[in-house]
């Protein structure tokens, strides 16, 4: 869908905004909106229940996604920003998280952290819905991040925030832009949700296919036996059941890595953390580096291409192969190295360890209050199914072919989500800066439409 441009434009005087329609005003945000107007007083009744919103409860796409209930007496001291309909929350700390959201019909006890600036539109000057889109435009977010100061916790002062220039169209035009964006972003969000459901279905189908192959085999007519392991149940009668420690390379041990990696060492040895295992594959580069001396002290936990790295803390059980490009690396204490022995292929072992039944076993065996952890002893005693060598190869080929097709379809769906999100962001930025003229836009016939107009209060 294409939209016309405005017939006459002018330079905004702001590099990152470019040209805007000639009749639009460009002013510092503080002239059309206030900041942090309402504060929950210290005299609030101790038993008053609040719903507290912190930075982790906010993102630019989904808005305010949650809150935590507290009695005022038990609430964090940061719980002070009072909210009302039409406000916009902007995180002034860790701005790279892009925690920006409009406030829509909130309960009266919704309270935000002082880590937010609460931007409130001035009556008859800025419409709250338009403001919500304006402050989620990519150029605005980028400017806020660029002006933030600090390394670990980059932050921006609220006074600097509201000093930034913004475009202010006429009131009726704001209403129309907001109406247009409500409709178009809802369409895009529906498509994103559809793709995300597809991604989950594909992932589940892939997990089920792999689990069936590595625990039941490929022949549905094969004679089965009781494995003697409750969570494995019936397995092919000619398969063996062994403990993990008996199928790994006897020349290496199942071991965790470096306890204290020390400061970053330029030109040192990369080491893998649990945080590096969030994707479907281990990255090739981008790891922190430890000194050769520390690495030498943990020679037993060095990994090579083809080794399996398993998370034994936090997201317990996730297993990934070390990529061929990562020729030398070590581990942290939160991960463990597993090297397949001669009697088992690395791909079969990896697939078995990632199978749903095995992952459920790891989850049951993980202990801990603050964070979950599985001990190396429990890991070494993990039951592993061992088909004959030729059958392992057939299973590996089956999984590579069929799971690979599902993975490729999943990647395409993930790419579609990324493109849709880019489209959403670009559309918002274009509309609120006047790069497209939507004054004559009407929703397609038969499509649900927001109200045609809002009255200035």
Select the more confidently predicted residue: 223 or 449: 223
> Are 416 and 355 contained in the same domain?
no
Question: Is residue 264 assigned to a domain?
Answer: yes
H or E stretch including 397?
A: helix 389-432
> Are 188 and 222 contained in the same domain?
no
Question: 67 and 51 in contact (C-beta within 8 Å)?
Answer: yes
Report strand pairing: 165-168 vs 25-28: antiparallel
pLDDT in tens, 93-140: 999 999 999 999 999 999 999 999 999 999 999 999 999 999 999 999
Select the more confidently predicted residue: 314 or 332: 332
Report strand pairing: 110-113 vs 49-53: parallel
C-alpha separations of 304 from 265, 307, 326, 337 in Å: 20, 6, 7, 10
Query: 227 falls in which pLDDT band (50, 70, 90)?
Result: very high
> Which tokens hold the place of 141?
């977010």
Mean pLDDT to the nearest integer, 40-51: 95
> Are 20 and 75 contained in the same domain?
no
Share above pLDDT 90 across residues of the chain, in percent, rounded to a whole number: 88
Mean pLDDT, all residues of the chain: 93
Question: Is residue 318 assigned to a domain?
Answer: yes
Mean pLDDT to the nearest integer, 398-415: 93
> Which tokens hold the place of 34?
């206030």
Helix/strand/coil for 39: strand
What is the extent of the structural domain holding 406?
Answer: 1-24+169-200+393-457
Question: Is residue 1 assigned to a domain?
Answer: yes
> Are 378 and 418 contained in the same domain?
no
- Contacts of 232-237 spanning 24+ positions with Cβ under 8 A: 232/357, 232/383, 232/385, 235/385, 236/387
Tally the domains of the chain.
3
Please, how many CA atoms are within 13 Å of residue 192, restricted to the half-sphere of its CB? 16
Select the more confidently predicted residue: 18 or 33: 33
Report strand pairing: 19-21 vs 234-236: unpaired
For residue 314, the domain's CATH number is 3.90.220.20
Question: Is residue 48 assigned to a domain?
Answer: yes
> Are 329 and 398 contained in the same domain?
no
Tell me what pLDDT residue 51 has: 97
> Are 270 and 352 contained in the same domain?
yes
> Are 354 and 260 contained in the same domain?
yes
> Are 59 and 99 contained in the same domain?
yes
Question: Is residue 209 assigned to a domain?
Answer: no
Tell me what pLDDT residue 146 has: 93
Mean pLDDT to the nearest integer, 407-432: 94
> Are 379 and 261 contained in the same domain?
yes
Tell me what pLDDT residue 1 has: 62
Please, how many CA atoms are within 13 Å of residue 286, restricted to the half-sphere of its CB? 7
Question: Is residue 213 assigned to a domain?
Answer: no
> Are 32 and 20 contained in the same domain?
no
Tell me what pLDDT residue 453 has: 39
Domain final position from 354, 386, 418: 386
User: Among candidates 352, 340, 383, 351, which has minimal Cα distance to 249?
Assistant: 340
pLDDT at 290 over 70: yes
pLDDT in tens, 183-206: 999 999 999 999 999 999 999 999
Distance CA 437, CA 177 (A): 9
Domain final position from 364, 386, 408: 386
pLDDT at 29 over 50: yes
261: buried, middle or exposed (CB in 10 Å: 19+, 13-18, 0-12)? Answer: buried
Question: Is residue 212 assigned to a domain?
Answer: no
Domain final position from 386, 405, 425: 386
Q: Which of 164-168, 217-221, 277-281 has the lowest mean pLDDT?
A: 277-281
> Are 48 and 123 contained in the same domain?
yes
Interior angle at CA 219, CA 217 and CA 223, nearest 5 = 90
pLDDT at 455 over 50: no
- Contacts of 363-366 spanning 24+ positions with Cβ under 8 A: 363/316, 363/317, 366/316, 366/317
DSSP for 217-256, written as a single string = -S-TTS-EEE-S-TTT-EEETT-EEEEGGGTB-TTS--EE
DSSP for 441-453, written as a single string = --PPTTS----S-
Tell me what pLDDT residue 452 has: 40
Distance CA 210, CA 217 (A): 10
> Are 65 and 178 contained in the same domain?
no
pLDDT in tens, 264-286: 999 999 999 999 998 889 999 99
Tell me what pLDDT residue 169 has: 97
Tell me what pLDDT residue 446 has: 64
Question: Is residue 110 assigned to a domain?
Answer: yes
Task: Give all strands (DSSP E) within 366-439, no chain letters.
Answer: 383-386
pLDDT at 450 over 90: no
Task: Give all strands (DSSP E) within 315-437, no chain letters.
Answer: 319-321, 330-331, 335-338, 383-386
């Amino acid at each position: 869908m294409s939209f016309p441009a405005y017939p006459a434009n002018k330079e905004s005087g702001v590099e990152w905004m470019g040209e805007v329609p000639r009749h639009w005003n460009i002013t510092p945000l503080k002239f059309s909106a206030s900041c942090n107007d309402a504060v929950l007083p210290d005299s609030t009744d101790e038993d008053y229940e609040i719903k507290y919103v912190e930075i982790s409860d906010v993102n630019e796409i989904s808005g305010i996604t949650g809150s935590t209930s507290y009695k005022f007496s038990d609430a964090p001291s940061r719980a002070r920003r009072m909210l009302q309909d039409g406000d916009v929350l902007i995180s002034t700390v860790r701005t790279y998280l892009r925690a920006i959201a409009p406030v829509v019909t909130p309960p009266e006890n919704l309270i935000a952290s002082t880590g937010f600036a609460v931007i409130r539109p001035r009556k008859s000057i800025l419409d709250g819905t338009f403001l919500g889109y304006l402050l989620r435009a990519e150029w605005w977010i980028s400017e806020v991040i660029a002006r933030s100061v600090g390394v670990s916790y980059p932050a921006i002062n609220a006074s600097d925030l509201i000093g930034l220039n913004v475009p202010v169209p006429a009131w009726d035009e704001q209403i129309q832009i907001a109406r247009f964006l409500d409709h178009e972003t809802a369409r895009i969000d529906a498509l994103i949700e559809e793709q995300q459901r597809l991604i989950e279905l594909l992932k589940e189908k892939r997990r089920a296919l792999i689990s069936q192959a590595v625990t039941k085999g490929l022949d549905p007519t094969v004679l089965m036996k009781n494995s003697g392991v409750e969570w494995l149940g019936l397995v092919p009668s000619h398969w063996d059941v062994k403990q993990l420690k008996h199928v790994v390379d006897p020349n290496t041990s199942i071991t965790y890595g470096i306890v204290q990696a020390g400061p970053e060492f330029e030109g040192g040895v990369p080491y893998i953390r649990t945080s590096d295992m969030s994707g479907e594959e281990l990255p090739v580069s981008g790891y922190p580096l430890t000194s050769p001396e520390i690495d030498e002290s943990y020679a037993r936990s060095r990994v090579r291409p083809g080794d399996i790295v398993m998370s034994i803390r936090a997201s317990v059980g996730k297993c990934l192969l070390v990529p061929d490009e990562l020729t030398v690396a070590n581990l942290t204490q939160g991960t463990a190295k597993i090297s397949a022995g001669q009697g088992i292929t690395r791909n079969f072992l990896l697939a078995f360890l990632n199978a749903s039944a095995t992952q459920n076993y790891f989850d049951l065996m993980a202990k801990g209050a603050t964070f979950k952890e599985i001990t190396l002893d429990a890991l070494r005693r993990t039951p592993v199914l061992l088909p004959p060598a030729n059958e392992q190869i057939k299973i590996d080929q089956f999984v590579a072919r069929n799971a690979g097709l599902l993975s490729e379809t999943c990647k395409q769906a993930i790419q579609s989500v990324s493109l849709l999100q880019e489209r959403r962001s670009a559309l918002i930025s274009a509309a609120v800066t006047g790069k497209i003229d939507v004054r004559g836009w009407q929703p397609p016939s038969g499509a649900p439409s927001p109200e045609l107009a809002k009255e200035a209060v």
